[in-house]
Chains A and B, each alone.
Chain A
């Protein structure tokens, strides 16, 4: 669509342009792009440095200042195109009156006039987004509370959306706990010269007491092994989402999926939108929703990615229902080897959520003796339990 701003109006202190930029920032905020007031102010400052006749430069001025995540770029582009092209040429019927009025009483506008236009634009946003926002908005209590106990298998679309957000938030929280480390300690293994010398001043410069510090503990490495075989379909998407959230917030994390064969998926989860990641996964993982062979997958992991397993440092998470169709002997041997090479071995089983569940099926019964923790993961509550456990 053609690009036009009237020349007389293009001065930096132009009120209508300023207002449009403010409204644009607000629309972005409404789409959960966290634009700060400083960002908007910087855009306004920047206007005087660029040639407003060039749409490209104006676009970049806004983009560099208002966007701060790769995921926001697409949203920004769409909104930019809609917002800044409809100035004159095309006027969607809904907002026509509002826009015109806004420009007409531009000279001596009353506060009432501003708010009026503000509301008009708000209305349009609401209608264009459809009913979804209107439904979420009136919730005064935390929807998470209600959803916490609900099993993943029984969610409708709207609930699924909320659970997804909660899962990502949870994984971020977990990532933050992993990253926290401590430093100073009286019995450390390294000499703290800074403190020793500071301390010696009291003894006239004689170093009497040596201060020590602990070296920072090495970060925990997380290896996530996720079962995507047929019996796990309902749960694997949310678990992958959890892995995805963790992967993008914590660098020391590796994710694998398996059913009969093992695939390393870390690079596919990193730095992409979850939808994009899922679609690549479904293309690359050839045996998605196939049978299960946990023992073979573990052996493959040990043989090809053994360097990832570090005794004392690796937290190994297996996510599976334990319906193993491979040899019991193989699984038993692999679990024993695995146990020796990791710090902590945790099995997450969605079936454990059911009160009548007994780990009787062959695979689960074989693996059980080697586990440090055996946890359910059928709902948000249980994923929260995992986050608490490892911190």
Chain B
């Protein structure tokens, strides 16, 4: 079913993920070469979405591991179910179970709480699950080293039980916002892709698909405006999620085209820093609005 780049792209579009050929190629190669994917890019360009859409087109489960500082083995891999173990021990004491049998019992898989990585490896669904490791740059370096180990042979050793091997290798997608560099060894193991801000055409198609009830003029103006904004130096440039938020906000306010007042009222949807809003109002607003009038030629893109 997914035997060519075109088929992958078509399947992604059916799942309402507007994409371009590079990303379709990336998923296709990951499926064929059975390699993990590492996507980097600014916040809000749709990195996480890739994993969601992959799970959807493969009709499989998405297992998500959100990284944060201090993420460790007991929250990412497995943890013993301590209350259950304690109850079991108390019961064993009353029933007079032998100690050896008890140890064997309470360190069995039944007492193991699976965290995302173990869950991905132990999944017994017919299609391998998609494992999303989100924002790996937030985790500590020691976790990265540990992840490298897991990704190289897809097996996990629990001292009390033994080695658990993957039934099916999960499809792994790692995302990073680049607040710090990821270790080279991990990067080199993955198919690497840097996702840029979308082109006008791509963003226009995304807005038309994802925002119900938007008219072509407004979508066109929003996207032109966003392209102009991203050409300037702001602390935090808006991504696609900001574009969609903004489009929805404008629709709620019953705007059918952009003008200065409409933009000024809704700047909070586009920018997340006071300095950026201030700079927009004082310096850049005119040039960005100017970009709208230039872009007056009729659109040839299908709705």
Contact = CB atoms under 8 A, between A and B. Distances in A.
Nearest to B21: A56
A207 B86 contact: yes
Nearest to B97: A205
Nearest to A194: B80
Interface residues of B, number: 50
A323 B194 CA distance: 44
Interface string A58-80: 00110011011110010000000
Interface in B49-84: 69-70, 72, 74, 79-80, 82
B187 A68 contact: yes
Contacts of B5: 50, 57
A328 interface: no
B26 A64 contact: yes
B235 to A, nearest CB: 4
B218 to A, nearest CB: 30
Given A194-B82, A207-B86, A64 B29 contact: yes
B184 to A, nearest CB: 6
Nearest to A58: B25
Contacts of A154: none
Interface string A256-284: 00000000100110110000000010011
Contacts of A283: 233
A284 B233 contact: yes
Contacts of B181: 248-249
Nearest to A61: B29
A56 B29 CA distance: 14
A46 B29 CA distance: 7
Interface stretch (A92-100, A104-112, A196-204): A196-204
B294 interface: no
B253 interface: no
Contacts of B69: 219
B180 interface: yes
Interface stretch (A1-9, A173-181, A229-237): A173-181
Interface string A183-226: 10000000001100100110011110000000010010000000
B192 A267 contact: no
B179 interface: yes
A42 B236 contact: no
Interface stretch (A31-39, A157-165, A330-338): A31-39
Contacts of B190: 68
A201 B103 contact: yes
Contacts of A57: 5, 21, 25
A250 interface: yes
Interface stretch (B32-40, B164-172, B240-248): B32-40
Of A36, A38, A193, most B-chain CB atoms within 10 Å: A193
B164 to A, nearest CB: 18
Contacts of A205: 89-90, 92-93, 99, 102
Contact of A38 (B99, B103, B180, B188): B188
Interface stretch (B11-19, B137-145, B207-215, B284-292): B137-145
Given A38-B188, A46-B33, A205-B102, A64 B86 contact: no
B77 to A, nearest CB: 12
B227 interface: no
**Interface SS, B side:** helix
Nearest to B177: A271
A197 B80 contact: yes
Given A49-B28, A205-B92, A249-B180, A194 B86 contact: no
Nearest to A205: B89
B82 A193 contact: yes
Contact of B32 (A46, A248, A251, A267): A46
Interface string A121-141: 000000000000000000000
Nearest to A48: B32
A225 B275 CA distance: 19
A45 interface: yes
B281 interface: no
A197 B82 contact: yes
B141 A70 contact: no
B80 A179 contact: no
A38 B190 CA distance: 10
A65 B191 contact: yes
B192 A176 contact: no
A371 B105 CA distance: 60
Interface in B213-248: 233, 235-236
B192 A64 contact: yes
Given A181-B140, A205-B92, A205-B93, A69 B187 contact: yes
B85 interface: yes
B140 A60 contact: no
Contact of A67 (B42, B138, B179, B192): B192
A90 to B, nearest CB: 27
Given A42-B33, A194-B74, A251-B179, A267 B235 contact: yes
B109 to A, nearest CB: 16
B255 interface: no
B202 interface: no
15 contacts: A49-B33, A60-B22, A68-B184, A70-B40, A70-B178, A193-B82, A197-B82, A201-B99, A201-B103, A204-B99, A206-B93, A251-B180, A270-B179, A271-B42, A280-B233
Given A57-B5, A183-B72, A207-B86, 18 more contacts: A45-B33, A50-B5, A50-B25, A60-B25, A61-B25, A61-B29, A64-B193, A70-B40, A204-B93, A206-B89, A248-B181, A251-B138, A251-B179, A267-B235, A271-B42, A271-B178, A280-B233, A284-B233
- Pairs of residues from A and B, 3 with the lowest C-beta to C-beta distance, nearest first: A205-B89, A68-B187, A64-B191
